Structure 1
Amino acid sequence: MTRNGTATHRNMILAALMVAAVLAPVFLFAGPGRGGGFGHHGRHGGPGFPGLRGLDLSEAQRTQIHEIFSAQREQGEAAREQLHQARQALADQIHAETFDEVAIRQAAQQVSALEENQAVERARLFQQIRQILTPEQLQQLETMKQDRREWRQERRDHGPWGGPDDDPAGE
């Protein structure tokens, strides 16, 4: 192999490693989230109400919200399955025996497009729920959301074992 050919080969390997490093978080977090999403009974305050636990919902509001989640459930399951398959196809391309940048990019774009669609559908769902809530409940929801953000930030600031300098081995 010529000197120029070796440099090209090295550049291809570096590019593949960079793509793998950038996409690694996608695969680390590709599984279902905690609680399995909307509609899981017995978690997050009841069926279909994650994040709404602290609100004092009337029976009519609960019924309306349940109907919104029920209507979305089948479509959401199909979208989650498509996303799972697209992520698997991307993983297959990344770990393929031969490097194919075009195929990797196409698979990554497919994952991105499906995630974009899911984000829009989640926003649409939450907008429908917001229309049902009273102004007081909306304010309470914002307060709860801010509290969760602060709690997550505190956890990030303290590291996985209670502090940035804490060593679990005690060394």
Structure 2
Amino acid sequence: MNIKVIFMCVFGLLLGTGTVVWSQPFNGGPDGPGMHRPKVEEKMLMMLDLDDTQKTLAAEIVARYRNLERNLMEDNKGLHRRMTDALFAETFDEAAARETFRNNAAVHEDLMVLKGRMISEIRTILTPGQLGELQAMRARRMKAHARHAEFRALVEDSMAARK
């Protein structure tokens, strides 16, 4: 087969694929479709064998807290911008930077407390067996985190040894 024919076929395939991909609508961005990924606690709930009543109650709880979380995350975005502005200001103002950081820390604290309240509320609708399974899932997750941390440490040590 002629090399020109092969080249033209490959080029045509790449061009066609690129055209199809480029013509797809962009749905990205923080509020675009498909941008909500289930959080860890939502994934764990999905893996439990919940009855219909529990599913409804869990969905209501998660939705209620998700709206509160979104509001806090919006506050966090603004504070993060102010923190970055404070760090890269023409003249560094330590007092302003510290104040912005404290405000940011308060939002993170509120987010943690909010998540704790949500999990606590969800626990009230679970059976003892489901609570046990939830604890087992958490233990497996923590073990996976530990393995990942060990692996990252090995990689970093290996990279440091090469330098």
After TM superposition, the score normalised by the length of structure 1 is 0.66
**Change over 3 Å in CA distance of 1:91–1:54 after alignment to 2:** same
- The answer for unaligned runs of 5 or more in structure 1 is 1-30
**Change over 3 Å in CA distance of 1:165–1:104 after alignment to 2:** closer
Contact 1:130 1:138 in 2 (8 A): yes
Q: What's the CA shift for 1:99?
A: 1.2
Is 1:74 aligned to 2:77, yes or no?
A: no
- The residue that corresponds to 1:53 in the other structure is 46
**Cα deviation per residue 1:80-124 (whole Å; 9 max; x = unaligned)?**
100111111111101111011100000000001111111111111
Alignment of 1:17-96 (within 5 A): 40=36, 43=38, 49-96=42-89
Q: Alignment identity in percent?
A: 29
Pair member with larger Rg: 2
Instruction: Report the RMSD for the aligned CA atoms in angstroms.
Output: 2.7
Q: Write out the 4+ residue segments of structure 1 that deviate beyond 4 Å after TM superposition.
A: 162-167
1:109 to 82, 91, 102: 102
**Change over 3 Å in CA distance of 1:158–1:101 after alignment to 2:** same
Aligned amino acid, residue 56 of structure 1: D
The higher-RCO structure (CA 8 Å, 6+ apart) is 2
Contact 1:79 1:114 in 2 (8 A): yes
Determine the C-alpha separation between the residues in 2 that align with 1:133 and 1:152: 25
**Change over 3 Å in CA distance of 1:165–1:83 after alignment to 2:** closer
**Cα deviation per residue 1:110-156 (whole Å; 9 max; x = unaligned)?**
00111111111111111000001111111111111011111111111
